[in-house]
């Protein structure tokens, strides 16, 4: 049996650069895990069985299991999943669950999957999945699968709010505009060293704010709460603010708690 925490991520910076021939987009993003996680218990079993506190159609964990089974001779897997991460929320809960499934199978069945095998399986599962092999934060390029771990990012406090809107990443990639200058990986590393978040941005925001007024409203409300940086995570719909001061975070938390259902105080990992 294996009990794991499947962490969520937020994008502290995200720029879509260009559309590729394979239909995906080249991006550059700085992602960090946050202390919000789904709780999962994995165990070897005769068949594949999944019990979840929320009904999930086409659970990506089954796809992860199938991909490992194509590679190695394994029996079944039982999964008890307690979802705490909102879905379609820009927090990559699905990608994180998929990574944990591959890791659990590797451990439970003693598969000794190579780095390359992990990479290939995770890329088939989604562009964001390989990020979860990182300890805490990474600059991700390509489709998002090429990761460079970064250190020295302060473990800021985070106020995270989800307005309960499920946004498809595909729709955002397809509808948004992009092009022009973007921060290089070196520039991002330099800004992290200087602890300077001013130039970090998410260029998906304009499109999402125009299409989902409720997300724009949430962003405006959060921007007025005293955090030193407010951004939408990924393709939305979650919005977060970063804080240094516990009292200010607490005040902001109570204000938002009265207005939205999913409001949490957390921190960067």
Contact 64, 101 (CB under 8 A): yes
CB of 141: closest distance to ligand ADP in angstroms? 18
234 is written with which tokens? 């990924």
CB of 167: closest distance to ligand ADP in angstroms? 7
Question: Looking at 44, 124, 143, 251, which residue binds ligand SUD (CB under 6 A)?
Answer: 143
Q: Would you give the distance in Å from CA 62 to the centre of its chain? A: 19
Q: Which of residues 153-182 bind ligand ADP (CB under 6 A)?
A: 166, 169
Annotated active-site residue 38? The verdict is no
Question: Looking at 29, 95, 130, 203, which residue binds ligand ADP (CB under 6 A)?
Answer: 95
Collapsing DSSP states into helix, strand and coil, what is residue 184?
coil
Question: With respect to ligand SUD, which residue has the nearer C-beta, 135 or 170?
Answer: 170
Contact 41, 97 (CB under 8 A): no
The CB density around residue 126, as the number of other CB atoms within 10 Å, is: 21
Helical H runs in 52-109?
A: 60-71, 93-108
Contact 77, 68 (CB under 8 A): no
| Residues pairing with 15 in the sheet | 28
Binding flag, residue 90, ligand ADP (CB under 6 A): yes
Q: Which of residues 80-139 bind ligand SUD (CB under 6 A)?
A: 90, 92, 95, 126-128
**Any residues with CB less than 8 A from the CB of 199 and at least 6 apart, and which?**
183, 187, 191
Question: With respect to ligand SUD, which residue has the nearer C-beta, 25 or 249?
Answer: 25
Annotated active-site residue 9? The verdict is yes
Which of ligand ADP, ligand SUD, none does residue 60 bind to, with CB < 5 to 8 Å depending on kind?
A: ligand ADP
Tell me how far apart the alpha carbons of residues 10 and 242 are, in angstroms, rounded to a whole number.
11
x/- track of binding to ligand ADP for residues 31-70 (CB under 6 A): -------------------------x-xxxx---------
170 is written with which tokens? 């595909």
Pairing of the two strands 25-45 and 48-52: unpaired
Question: Looking at 4, 11, 130, 241, which residue binds ligand SUD (CB under 6 A)?
Answer: 11
CB of 240: closest distance to ligand SUD in angstroms? 13
Binding flag, residue 24, ligand SUD (CB under 6 A): yes
Question: With respect to ligand ADP, which residue has the nearer C-beta, 171 or 246?
Answer: 171
Pairing of the two strands 48-52 and 76-82: parallel
Q: Which of residues 30-69 bind ligand SUD (CB under 6 A)?
A: none
**Any residues with CB less than 8 A from the CB of 160 and at least 6 apart, and which?**
10, 34, 36, 233, 238, 239, 240, 263, 264, 266
Size of the site for ligand SUD (CB under 6 A): 19
As annotated, the binding site includes 86-96
As annotated, the binding site for ATP includes 86-96
Interaction site with ligand SUD (CB under 6 A): 11, 14, 24-25, 27, 29, 90, 92, 95, 126-128, 143-144, 169-170, 173, 234-235
Residues serving a catalytic function are 9, 128
């Amino acid at each position: 049996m294996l009990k794991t925490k499947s962490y969520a991520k937020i994008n502290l910076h995200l720029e879509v650069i260009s559309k590729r021939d394979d239909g995906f987009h080249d991006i550059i993003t700085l992602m960090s895990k946050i202390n919000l996680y789904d709780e999962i218990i994995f165990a070897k079993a005769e068949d594949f069985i999944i019990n979840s506190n929320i009904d999930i159609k086409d659970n990506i964990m089954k796809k992860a299991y199938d991909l490992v089974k194509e590679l190695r001779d394994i029996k079944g897997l039982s999964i008890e999943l307690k979802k705490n991460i909102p879905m379609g929320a820009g927090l990559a809960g699905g990608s994180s669950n998929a990574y944990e499934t591959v890791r659990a199978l590797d451990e439970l069945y003693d598969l000794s999957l190579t780095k390359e095998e992990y990479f290939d399986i995770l890329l088939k599962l989604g562009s964001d999945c390989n990020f979860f092999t990182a300890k805490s934060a990474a600059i991700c390029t390509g489709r998002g699968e090429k990761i460079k771990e970064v250190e020295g990012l302060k473990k800021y406090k985070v106020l995270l709010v989800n307005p309960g809107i499920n946004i498809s990443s595909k729709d955002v990639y397809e509808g948004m505009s992009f092009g022009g200058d973007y921060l290089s990986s070196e520039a991002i590393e330099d800004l992290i060293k200087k602890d300077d978040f001013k130039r970090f941005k998410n260029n998906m925001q304009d499109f999402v704010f125009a299409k989902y007024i409720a997300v724009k409203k949430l962003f405006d409300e959060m921007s007025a709460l005293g955090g030193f940086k407010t951004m939408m995570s990924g393709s939305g719909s979650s919005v977060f603010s970063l804080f240094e001061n516990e009292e200010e975070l607490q005040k902001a938390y109570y204000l938002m708690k009265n207005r939205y259902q999913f409001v949490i105080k957390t921190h960067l990992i």
